[in-house]
Amino acid sequence: MSAVPVIHAAAVTRIPQPYLLFLGNAHETTFMKTALGLRDWARELCVGEYRCDSTPISIGLPYMDPATAYRAGARSLVIGVANIGGIIDPSWIDYLVRGMEAGLDIVSGAHSKLRDCSPLQKAAERTGRSLINIRVPPQGIPVATGRKRSGKRLLTVGTDCALGKKYTALTLHRELRSRGIDSDFRATGQTGILISGAGIPIDAVVSDFVAGAAEMLSPDAPANHWDVIEGQGSVFHPSYAGVSLGLLHGSQPDVLVLCHEVGRDRIVGLEGYATPSLPEAIELTTRLARMTNPNARCAGVSLNTSRLDESAARQVLRETSAALKLPVADPVRGGPELGELVERILGR
């Protein structure tokens, strides 16, 4: 059995690998960010998927019950669904207990703590399994100072939640590394932490310390080093703008990449609110970023075109780039547009 260290500053939790991904009772993939992120960026760690009987959605991994997954090598059952509010849904309990009975530890990125659920706590004591919460920030996070730090920083920002900020950051980190550029991916959410092995769950930090956590996450670095910081939420989101703004100010990004999904014109879960136009989002986010970094600039747009076929997607990328006079790329599709975005990030 192997384990990856997940580092929150001074605190280290070891998570047994590989994983069985639990999809819960989700009926759309929007809320499966953790499962999809692990499937796409740490596929070698994912044995299969497991879900409630009523769940019709699959992410394309082999379906396995916990006992089968354990025999296949799985050692943790990772809750792969991120619902609104980050709660442990009561309908999941029996499924999670079966996981422990099969020999799997339970790993959660939810706001709700696993040990606060009495049936899970009792099952863990009975089976000797561990309940591991990823969404726990380190102790001793300082209040932000606003001090300018050395090195270069890129932050992915968005017009809404759950539209590609993590995928964009991971792709850009990979692209920079492929060009021989010193780069680190800085995870700010539970999925990114599981993928990379380190980070701070920024939305679990007390609000006074969010900007300080961002400073802590991306410390002084050599002048040619890039920290690629995973964005969270959106400054346009009525529920989560506070987290997004604290992360924006604390990150002090030199470069912003705006993320948007083609066709998404309403805030997910809050249909009374429209998503901003791309020019509006670029203008306001850049202006807010310049409070702590007067030289912050938007290098371009990461456009999620997953709902389009290849031809339509390429056309939208071209048209949006021409309208904005900025590089526009889909990080999943790649192609020359992605190369143009990276060149603009580097100021070339």
Between vectors from CA 135 to CA 129 and to CA 141, what angle results, nearest 5°? Answer: 125
Could you read off the pLDDT of 255-301 as tens digits, one per residue?
999 999 999 999 998 999 999 999 999 999 999 999 999 999 999 99
**What is each CA distance from 65 to 96, 103, 343, in whole angstroms?**
11, 12, 46
C-alpha neighbours within 13 Å on the C-beta side of residue 296: 28
Both 181 and 238 in one domain: the answer is yes
- The domain of 339 spans 152-345
Q: Is the pLDDT of residue 8 over 50?
A: no
Q: Locate all alpha helices (DSSP H) within the chain, ordered by sequence.
A: 33-41, 66-71, 93-101, 118-127, 165-178, 190-196, 210-217, 241-251, 278-289, 310-324, 336-345
225 located within any domain: yes
Same domain assignment for residues 307 and 197: yes
**CA distance linking residue 332 with residue 164, whole number of Å:** 9
Distance CA 83, CA 175 (A): 31
Whether residue 13 is predicted with pLDDT greater than 80 in this model: the reply is no
Q: Are residues 339 and 262 in the same domain?
A: yes
301-314 confidence digits (pLDDT tens)? 999 999 999 999 99
Nearest to 255 by CA among 154, 129, 346, 128: 154
Residue 86, pLDDT > 50, answer yes
Same domain, 126 and 164: no
- At 135-174, the pLDDT tens digits run 888 889 999 999 999 999 999 999 999 899 999 999 999 9
| Claim to verify: residue 120 and residue 185 sit in the same structural domain | no
Nearest-angstrom CA–CA distance, 338 and 323? 17
Write the CATH number for 66: 3.40.50.720
144 phi and psi, to 5 degrees?
Answer: -60, 145
Query: CA-CA-CA-CA torsion for 181, 184, 188, 192, nearest 10 degrees?
Result: 100
Tell which of 86, 106, 133 closes a domain. Answer: 133
In a domain, 144, yes or no: no
- What is the CA 236 to chain-centroid distance, rounded? 18
Which residues does 153 contact at the CB level (< 8 Å), separation at least 6?
218, 226, 227, 229, 251, 252, 253, 254, 255
Task: Identify the pLDDT of residue 35.
Answer: 94
Q: Answer yes or no: is 162 within a domain.
A: yes
pTM: 0.84
Instruction: Name the domain count of the chain.
Output: 2
Least-confidence region, from 27-41, 173-187, 214-228, 332-346:
27-41
Mean pLDDT of 12-19: 75
Residue type, 307: R
**CATH number of the domain that 312 lies in?**
3.40.50.300
Residues 105 and 177 in one domain: no
